[in-house]
Structure 1
Amino acid sequence: MKILADQNMPLVEQYFADFGEVVRFDGRKLTPEQLIDADILLTRSVTQVNSELLAQANKLRFVGTATIGVEHIDTPLLTAKNIAFSSAPGCNAIAVAEYVISSLFALCQENATSLNGKTIGIVGVGNIGQCLAQKLAALDVTVLLCDPIKHQQGTLQQHVELDELLAQADIVTLHVPLITTGEHKTRHLINHSRLQALKPGTILINASRGDVIDNQALLAVMQHGAELDLVLDVWENEPDILTELLEHVRYASVHIAGHTLEGKARGTQMLYEKYCQLNGITATKTLDDFLPPPAISQLSVSATFTEADISRLVHLIYDIRRDDGILLANLASDGFDSLRKNYPLRREFSTLTLTGDSPQLTALKQLGFTVSH
């Protein structure tokens, strides 16, 4: 059996080698010829799985994407060809939520402000938005949720309309899928008029899809003096991003918000489990079989640890300013895709086990740290 796997997917050999030969490919350069005699295709969001790509896929029986979004997959085509398909919803929800939290604490440090009392608007309440909201419940903030689809379905009672949320929020963080047409279109959801409507000093974070914000409009409002703190992990036209925007962004990164070791490996595991399920195979492998121990695994938190110390603990595990520095120093020489491919190791809050008698342990557990009593 021939198994084609994106070169940036971790642990594919560990999970899939028992089923056949694993062959790696560059996600942006995969050709139809490479799919000849391939039985399994494991991909990420940079690969467009369409009729052109599958023109010579004579044996393909399973396609998996280790991502939440599926807009790069022609799923009706796969159904027509009787090719099984699976995505990995929620695999990187924890990672993206922790990216947002790291950025918020970093901005508060640099702006000499506090998160206490702030209103945070979450636009898109899928796996990531829900995870972020649950973590933010540990902090003294007000959370507004906007998801018209879930509201119409009756699964989000506390829905706030987007323009109302934008008017009220001190912080706006975007976690919607890319939808290009229809009533719930999200391409350029944040357009010129909505950017102008944001309050001075608003923090605007995009860790969803680059096209959700009109990047040219964002550049224009920033050049005309808009007072926004921007955190951008995703960009229109990746990897050829609008570099003129960089000087106006507080923290910039190369579409890596979800790229913890756990998040990426969780995606691979979910595809392995789905393939096993479809083929009547007992799934016996888990992340614990393969992930290395974290560099710092245990820490004692004393009674003198306060809410003000939480940011120090968050940045001990992950500080977004590292990734901003990597992009600014190396984008011109290495390029967007190379930086993404060679993204340094990052772990999740849960890899740190906390002990002690601080009253903040409950909040730290809510944020995602492991607490041992």
Structure 2
Amino acid sequence: MILITEFMDEDAVARLKAAHPTTYAPELADQQDDIPALMAGVQVLIVRNRTQVTEALVQSAPDLKMVGRLGVGLDNIDLVACKAQDVIVCPAVGANTLSVAEYVLTNAAILLRDAYQARARMLAGEWPRGDCSGREVAGRCLGLVGFGEIARVTAQLAQAMGMKTCAYDPFLPSDSPLWKGTEQRDLEGVLGGSDVISLHVPLTDATRHIINADRLAMMQSGAVLINAARGGTVDEAALAAALQGGQIAGAALDVFETEPLTQEAARIFDGLQNLILTPHIAGVTVDSNIRVSAMIADLALEQLSQE
């Protein structure tokens, strides 16, 4: 039996339903207290980032063999509990890489150009041409905090646009060929020497608030920050203060400490015109959803074929 608790491509769902009893209930992401009662007999659980796969949930499913993650982050899955019960966890590694890389560079171009917040002024009869010239991405430096697969693809696309790239990643050996074309720097060097800073790290004790007030102060006044990695890696109150005070030029956030944003969490961003907010969709396009869903469906069918 398969249970899918968040949205998935319809063709992939149809393939699963044709092969095994499958419950497709994406509304459960908003009704998580109802999930444990549905876990009896479930062998494969398919989730995105909102469903919390806790120890209690895993223990409520004695037949569970696999958790499929429609994405790559595993913050919402208790990996220790899964391992203790011999449940394999399968993220869709690589399937949404291009979507995230394109998101980063799209927002870099928008923030550097500084021309896309003029709509209200233009509709009010102004013609603020002098305030909207902005900067090109070509010749600017993209600094990557973390240099995994998504960051490396982002660097390749940035280089094709004429950007220089640098990165900080203490876990990638300095002699790795993967550094080719990208300058290795320490964290302070990336933050202080980049026009665009993009985060590509998981949320751990070491990376929580890796961008805080002190680190924001290291950035150039014209720099922009993009977080399409994990909520909690940026101190949102410190970022809002830096944007409000003109300490940095702009930011784009796709992930947040609290998701969905509560009114209280959103209030700190009120009035900021140099901030782009999106609802955790950097890796979700029509195209990537098809790839991610197909990959997890294939893995689920392979797992169940072994039963």
TM-score scaled by structure 2?
0.83
Match 1:51 to one of 41, 55, 58: 55
Larger RCO, structure (CA 8 Å, separation 6 or more): 2
Letter in 2 for 1:204: L
1:321-332 paired onto structure 2 within 5 Å: none
Preserved CA contact (<8 Å) 2:5 2:46: yes
CA contact (8 A) 2:6 2:48 kept: no
Q: How does 1:65-76 map to 2 (within 5 A)?
A: 65-76=69-80
The residue identity in structure 2 corresponding to 1:193 is D
Q: Distance in 1 between matches of 2:227 and 2:300?
A: 32
Query: How many Å apart are 1:278 and its aligned residue?
Result: 3.6
Aligned to 1:105: 109
Aligned-residue Cα RMSD (Å) equals 2.1
Residue number in structure 1 paired with 2:126: none
Secondary structure at the aligned position of 1:247 is classed as coil
Mapping of 1:1-373 within 5 angstroms?
Answer: 2-11=1-10, 12-23=12-23, 24-25=25-26, 26-30=28-32, 31-109=35-113, 110=115, 111-112=132-133, 113-151=135-173, 154=176, 157=179, 158-180=183-205, 185-241=206-262, 242-243=265-266, 244-248=268-272, 249-279=274-304
CA contact under 8 A between 2:6 and 2:46: conserved in structure 1?
Answer: no
Deviation at 1:156, TM superposition (A): 5.0
5+ long unaligned stretches in structure 1: 282-373
Instruction: Give, in whole Å, the separation in 2 of the partners of 1:37 and 1:20.
Output: 12
User: What is the count of residue pairs matched by the alignment?
Assistant: 276
SS in structure 1 at match of 2:172: helix
Structure 2 residue runs without a partner (length 5+): 116-131
Which residue type is aligned with residue 10 of structure 1?
D
Contact preservation (8 Å) 1:246, 1:252 = no
Aligned partner letter, 1:232: L
Alignment partners' CA distance in 2, 1:133 and 1:161: 17
Identity of aligned residues (%): 29
Answer yes or no: is the 8 Å Cα contact 1:89–1:127 preserved in 2.
no
- Checking the alignment, whether the CA contact within 8 Å between 2:243 and 2:250 is kept in structure 1 is no
Q: CA, structure 1 residues 124+15, in 2 after alignment: closer, same or farther (shift >3 Å)?
A: farther
- Separation of aligned partners in 1, 2:175 and 2:305: 34
The one-letter amino acid paired with 1:171 is: V
